[in-house]
C-alpha cells in the first residue's frame, strides 16, 4: 500500500502529457492500478466533414471524419475507453437538412459512441423527428430530467446507464436544458422539464449507493456558465456530492483544460466542455487503485482534431 501511494504521488507530479501517454499497462498492473480514458464531444451539429479551407476561423478542422481517426489512434494505444457525447448532434449542415438525424446517428454508432444526451436542437424536427432518428442509433440518448410520459416518446430514453470497463463501474445520467423560450412549444409538446439540480442529486445517490458505481458521470446540455443566475454546469457542480465528472455542452465553450471545482462536500468535481463541430476531443483519464481505497488521479488533455 505504501509503495502504491508513493507511486501515485510520483505520477501526480508528472505532466498531463506524460501521464496520458507514458504509463504502460504493465506498469499500471504492477502497481494494482487501472486507467479509464473518457473521450467526449458535444454540439457536433452534423459536422461530419471538416470546415472548408476557405473558412476564416477553422480552415480544414473539425468534423467527425477527422475525429474518428483521432479516436481510433487513442483506442489503438489504450483499450479501456469510454466515448460519449453531450447533445446537439442535430442541425447545422446540409447533412441534417437532407438526412435529418439518420446519418449523424449512423456515423456516431460506427465510431463507437456508448451514450449521449438530448440537446435542444434534437427537437428541431419535433418529437416525431427524434423518434425516427432513434432507430439508427446504436447507443442510448440518456436523459434524466425530461419527462416524456405524455408523449409519443414515452419509454424511449433511459434515465441512466451503467457501464463496466475493466472492473470500473461507471454510472451515467443526463440533463437537458429548459426548453421553454428556447425550443418551439409545438416541437416538444407535453414533454415536462424537471429541475436539474434535484434530478442530479437523486441520480448520483442512486448510481453511487444502489448501483455501486465507482465513477458517476453527468452528460449535461445545460451550458457551462452564464452571467445571469441560470442553472449551468458550474452551478450544478456545487450542488452535487457524488458526481465525479460533468461533461457539458450547449454553450460551445472551449476550455484549454477541464475545471476542477468543489462539490457540496468540498470534494473535487471535474467539469469539461469540448467546443463544438468536432473541433475538439475532450479526454479525461482516471487512474484508480483496484481496491478503490485511494481517490482517483485525474489527467486531462483537450485535443484539437487533426488539421
Q: How much is the pLDDT for 70?
A: 95
pTM of the predicted protein model: 0.93
Averaged pLDDT, groups of 10, the chain, 307 residues long: 56 56 60 89 98 93 95 93 98 97 98 98 98 98 98 98 96 98 97 98 98 98 95 98 98 94 97 97 90 75 74
Q: How much is the pLDDT for 7?
A: 60
Superfamily of domain 2-304: Metallo-dependent phosphatases (3.60.21.10)
Q: How much is the pLDDT for 89?
A: 98
Burial class (CB in 10 A: 0-12, 13-18, 19+), 21: middle
Read off the C-alpha cell for 16: 498531463
Contact 45, 88 (CB under 8 A): yes
Domain ranges of the chain: 2-304
Q: How much is the pLDDT for 242?
A: 98
Beta strands across the sheet bearing 268-273: 160-165, 168-175, 215-220, 245-248, 268-273, 259-262
Q: How much is the pLDDT for 275?
A: 97
Q: How much is the pLDDT for 295?
A: 75
Relative to beta strand 245-248, strand 259-262 is unpaired
Q: How much is the pLDDT for 16?
A: 57
Q: How much is the pLDDT for 279?
A: 96
Closest CA to 82 of 301, 273, 288, 283: 283
> Any idea of the CA torsion for 125, 129, 134, 137, to the nearest 10 degrees?
-50
Amino acid at each position: 500500500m505504501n509503495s502504491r501511494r508513493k507511486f501515485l504521488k510520483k505520477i501526480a507530479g508528472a505532466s498531463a502529457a506524460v501521464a496520458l501517454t507514458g504509463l504502460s499497462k504493465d506498469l499500471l498492473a504492477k502497481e494494482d492500478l487501472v486507467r479509464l480514458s473518457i473521450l467526449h464531444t458535444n454540439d457536433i451539429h452534423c459536422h461530419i466533414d471538416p470546415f472548408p479551407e476557405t473558412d476564416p476561423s477553422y480552415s480544414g478542422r473539425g468534423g467527425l471524419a477527422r475525429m474518428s481517426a483521432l479516436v481510433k489512434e487513442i483506442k489503438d494505444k489504450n483499450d479501456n475507453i469510454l466515448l460519449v457525447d453531450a447533445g446537439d448532434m442535430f442541425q447545422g449542415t446540409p447533412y441534417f437538412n437532407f438526412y435529418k438525424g439518420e446519418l449523424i446517428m449512423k456515423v456516431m454508432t460506427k465510431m463507437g459512441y456508448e451514450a449521449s444526451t438530448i440537446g435542444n436542437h434534437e427537437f428541431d424536427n419535433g418529437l416525431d423527428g427524434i423518434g425516427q432518428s432513434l432507430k439508427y442509433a446504436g447507443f442510448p440518448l440518456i436523459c434524466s430530467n425530461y419527462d416524456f410520459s405524455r408523449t409519443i416518446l414515452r419509454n424511449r430514453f433511459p434515465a441512466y446507464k451503467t457501464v463496466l470497463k475493466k472492473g470500473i463501474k461507471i454510472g451515467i445520467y443526463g440533463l437537458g436544458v429548459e426548453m421553454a423560450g428556447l425550443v418551439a412549444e409545438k416541437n416538444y409538446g407535453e414533454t415536462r422539464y424537471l429541475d436539474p439540480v434535484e434530478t442530479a442529486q437523486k441520480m448520483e445517490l442512486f448510481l453511487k449507493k444502489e448501483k455501486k458505481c465507482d465513477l458517476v458521470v453527468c452528460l449535461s446540455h445545460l451550458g457551462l456558465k452564464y452571467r445571469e443566475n441560470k442553472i449551468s454546469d458550474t452551478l450544478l457542480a456545487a450542488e452535487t456530492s457524488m458526481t465525479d465528472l460533468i461533461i457539458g455542452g450547449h454553450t460551445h465553450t472551449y476550455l484549454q483544460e477541464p475545471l476542477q471545482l468543489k462539490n457540496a462536500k468540498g470534494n473535487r468535481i471535474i467539469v469539461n466542455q469540448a467546443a463544438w463541430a468536432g473541433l475538439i476531443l475532450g479526454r479525461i483519464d482516471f487512474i484508480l487503485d483496484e481496491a478503490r481505497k485511494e481517490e482517483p488521479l485525474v489527467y486531462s488533455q483537450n485535443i484539437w482534431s487533426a488539421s
